[in-house]
Amino acid sequence: MTLLRRTLLASAAALALTPAAAFAQDSIKVGEINHYKRMAAFAEPYKKGIELALKEINEDGGVLGKPLEFIFRDDQGDPAEAIKIAEELMTRDGTVMFTGSILSHVGLALSSFAAEKKYLYLASEPLADTLVWKSGNPYTFRLRASTWIQAAMLAEQAATTDAVKYATIAPNYAYGTEAVEAFKANLKMLKPEVEFVAEQWPALFNIDAGAEVQALERAKPDAIFNVTFGTDLAKFVREGGDRGLFDGRDVYGLLTGEPEYLEPLGDEAPEGWFVTGFPWYGFEDGIPGKIFVDAYVEETGETPKIGSVVGYMTAQSIAAAIEKAGATDTESLRMAFEGLDVENTPIGTLHYREIDNQSSLGAWVGTTAVEDGKGVMVNWEYKDPAAYTPSDEDVSAMRPAE
C-alpha cells in the first residue's frame, strides 16, 4: 500500500468519526419542499421554526436514538418542480417522508404524488379543504386549520351583525375559491337572508387593486369578505383605504391578522377588521404559546410569524410519529400518524384525526387595530376547530373511498 493511499484511508477513517459525518450517515432524514425564494418572507420563518424544534429534539436525544434531519429544497412555487424534488428526495436522498408547501395548488400536486407513490406527506401549510376532503388520501396529513374552519369562524361573527349584502375578493386559485365557498356556505346556514352581490377574483400576486376596489364599491355591499394576502393584501388595503371602500362597512379577513401580512403594513394596517391571525405579542406568561415565543425570540433574535409556529409543530409532529411507529418505513409512519397525539406543542396537545388526517390546530380570531404605528390584533381568542368542523358523516361522504 502506498503512502498516499494509507494517508487517504486514514483521513477518511478520521472523518467518519467526526460528529458531522456521523450525523450525515446515521440521521433520520425528512424532505422539506417549499417556496423559499419566491415567498421568502413567509417560508423563512417557517424554516426557522423547524430548525428550533430540531435543535430541541436532537439535544434531547433525537428520535429512535438518532438525530432528526430535514433536507430543505426550493420548488419556486412550481407544482411540477415540487413533484420532481419529491421524487429525488424519495429515491436519491433517502428521506423517510416529506413535508412542506405554502401554496395550496403546490400542496395538492404533492398530495397526488404521495397517493400515487405511497409516500408519506405532511402538508404543513396549504389550506385548501380539498387536500384532506374531496382529494384526501391515506398518505396525506395536514397540520394547519383549513379554509372551511377559519371561514366558519369569521362567518359566525358576521352573522351577528345587520349586514345582508356581501362582496368577496379572493385570489383565483384553490385556496381562494374554496375560502369564498366556505364563507358563503357557513354564513347562509347561520343567516339565510344574506346575499352576495359581487365576487372579485384577482390573479395571485398580480392584483389590479384600483380596478378591484372600484368594482366592489359599485356593488354597494354592507360588508366585505377578503381573502387576499401578501403583496396583494397590501395593495388592496392601501387602495381601498384611499378610496374609502372600508368606511362604514364590516370587513372580514382570512389570514389578515397574521404577522407575515399585517406587520408590513405598519400604520397603514386596517382597523376594525375581524380576522384570523397570530397575536403572539398578547400571550401570557406560562402558557405553551408564550414558552414557544420566548424560545423562538432567544434562538433567532426575531419575533415569530404564523409560519414559525407551524414549522415548529411540523417537526414536533414528525418526531412524535416516528417515535410512536418505532420504525421509519412508510406504512409504519402512516399508521402512527392516524390518531397521533403530539405533546407539548405551542397549543398544548395536538391531535391528528383518523377520519380525515387533519390536525386539531385551531385559529386565533380578533379585531385589527394600530398600536404604536403597528398593526395588531386586539380582543382576540383562540378557537378550537371542533365546533366548526363538518360532521363525521359529512367528512366521510366527501373523502374518496380507500
What is the grid cell recorded at 234?
Answer: 397590501
pLDDT bin (cut points 50, 70, 90) of residue 23 is: very low
Mean pLDDT for 215-239 is 97
Residues near 395 by beta carbon (within 8 Å), at least 6 away in sequence:
133, 355, 356, 389
pLDDT tens, 47-106?
999 999 999 999 999 999 999 999 999 999 999 999 999 999 999 999 999 999 999 999
Mean pLDDT for 135-145 is 97
Mean pLDDT for 2-31 is 51
* Residue-averaged pLDDT of the chain: 93
Q: Is the dihedral of CA 102, 103, 105, 106 positive or negative?
A: negative
Mean pLDDT for 30-39 is 96
pLDDT tens, 152-199?
999 999 999 999 999 999 999 999 999 999 999 999 999 999 999 999
Mean pLDDT for 258-277 is 96
What is the grid cell recorded at 115?
Answer: 397517493
For residue 120, give the nearest of 311, 328, 351 by alpha carbon. 328
Quote the longest CA-to-CA distance of the chain. Answer: 89
For residue 318, give the nearest of 31, 16, 46 by alpha carbon. 31
Dist CA 100 CA 73 (whole Å): 10
pLDDT tens, 345-360?
999 999 999 999 999 9
pLDDT of 370 reads 97
- CATH annotation of 148-280+363-392: 3.40.50.2300
Would you list the domain boundaries of the chain?
A: 22-146+286-361, 148-280+363-392
Residue with cell 387533519: 358
Equal CATH topology for 22-146+286-361 and 148-280+363-392: yes
- CATH annotation of 22-146+286-361: 3.40.50.2300
Centre a 10 Å sphere on the Cβ of residue 91 and count the other Cβ atoms it contains.
11
pLDDT of 21 reads 39
Residue pair 81/75 in contact (Cβ under 8 Å)? The answer is yes
Is the pLDDT score of 2 beyond 80? no
Main-chain dihedrals φ then ψ at residue 390, nearest 5 degrees: -55, 160
What is the grid cell recorded at 280?
Answer: 403572539
Does the global pTM surpass 0.85?
yes
98-132 as b/e, with b when 16 or more CB fall inside 10 Å? bbbbbbbbbbbbbbbbbbebebbbbbbbbbbbbbb
pLDDT of 177 reads 96
pLDDT of 401 reads 82
H helices of 127-263, in order, are 147-158, 174-190, 209-219, 230-242, 259-262
226, amino acid identity: N
